[in-house]
């Protein structure tokens, strides 16, 4: 990529191709903002289906509120979220995030009027909240523009645009945020589409390149290299 405009055009093209192929994703899949927070903790280091089992356990136990999680003892909470894996440490993390939420009198909606960088920095001070989790909460809960980077996003961008040689979380994050409009809805849908593409087509092993909607622009595809040779 020669300049910022070309990079921006490429990112918009990727978004358009994925949106056309998969349709609108309407993330995050939850019934409330608090459930999204819980999901962002429980999905750490596990598949979403395992986190979902734990979320359903919390709902069945009447624990889908900050106050309820603050009141239950840690060991009991850990058993309820056991399906999510690393359940003992995640129980501590849920307790910590609920303690933080209490600083806002459990009024999560207040976050929507905050500066995204300020909210993100606060969240990073909470035990168990790393960059990806903080960004997920800022974007999907507070509806503020910050791009979520996960292994799926890194996999796709590394394959489609290998010459960028991005490595660190901050490098991928800056790449998206510096070349796209600062729009929470765009960031939301873009990240969701990248995750869907990684799960359904651009697999870690044996990616299904033949049906990939990014095949013609992916610099790792044989189709792309064939076109470049014939150009």
Each residue's pLDDT tens digit, 84-126: 999 999 999 999 999 999 999 999 999 999 999 999 999 999 9
DSSP state of 44: T
CA torsion, points 6, 214, 156, 54, in degrees to nearest 10? 130
3-state SS, residue 102: helix
Q: Please report, for the chain, how many H helices and E strands are present, in that order.
A: 12, 0
Q: What is the pTM of this model?
A: 0.92
pLDDT value at 2 more than 70 = no
User: Up-side HSE of residue 9: CA atoms within 13 Å toward CB?
Assistant: 7
* Residue 33 to residues 107, 139, 145, Cα–Cα distance (Å): 10, 11, 16
Mean pLDDT (the chain, rounded) = 94
Model pLDDT for residues 35-74, shown as the tens digit of each residue: 999 999 999 999 999 999 999 999 999 999 999 999 999 9
CB atoms within 10 A of CB 188: 20
**From CA 33, how far away is CA 31, in angstroms rounded?**
7
Q: Structural domains in the chain?
A: 4-26+148-224 (1.10.1670.10), 33-140 (1.10.340.30)
């Amino acid at each position: 990529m020669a300049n910022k405009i070309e990079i921006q055009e490429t990112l918009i093209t990727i978004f358009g191709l994925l949106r056309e192929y998969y349709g609108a994703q309407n993330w995050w899949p939850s019934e409330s903002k608090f459930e999204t927070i819980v999901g962002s903790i429980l999905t750490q280091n596990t598949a979403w289906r395992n986190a979902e089992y734990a979320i359903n356990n919390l709902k069945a136990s009447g624990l889908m509120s900050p106050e309820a999680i603050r009141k239950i003892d840690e060991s009991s909470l850990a058993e309820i979220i056991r399906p999510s894996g690393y359940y003992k440490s995640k129980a501590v993390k849920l307790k910590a995030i609920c303690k933080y939420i209490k600083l806002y009198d459990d009024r999560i909606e207040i976050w929507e009027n905050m500066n995204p960088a300020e909210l993100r920095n606060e969240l990073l001070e909470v035990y168990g909240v790393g960059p990806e989790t903080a960004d997920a909460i800022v974007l999907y809960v507070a509806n503020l523009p910050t791009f979520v980077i996960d292994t799926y996003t890194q996999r796709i961008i590394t394959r489609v645009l290998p010459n960028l040689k991005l490595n660190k979380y901050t490098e991928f994050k800056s790449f998206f945020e510096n070349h796209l409009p600062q729009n929470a809805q765009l960031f939301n849908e873009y990240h969701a589409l990248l995750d869907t593409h990684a799960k359904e087509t651009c697999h870690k092993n044996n990616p299904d390149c033949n049906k990939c909607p990014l095949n013609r622009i992916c610099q790792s595809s044989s189709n792309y290299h064939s076109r470049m040779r014939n150009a």
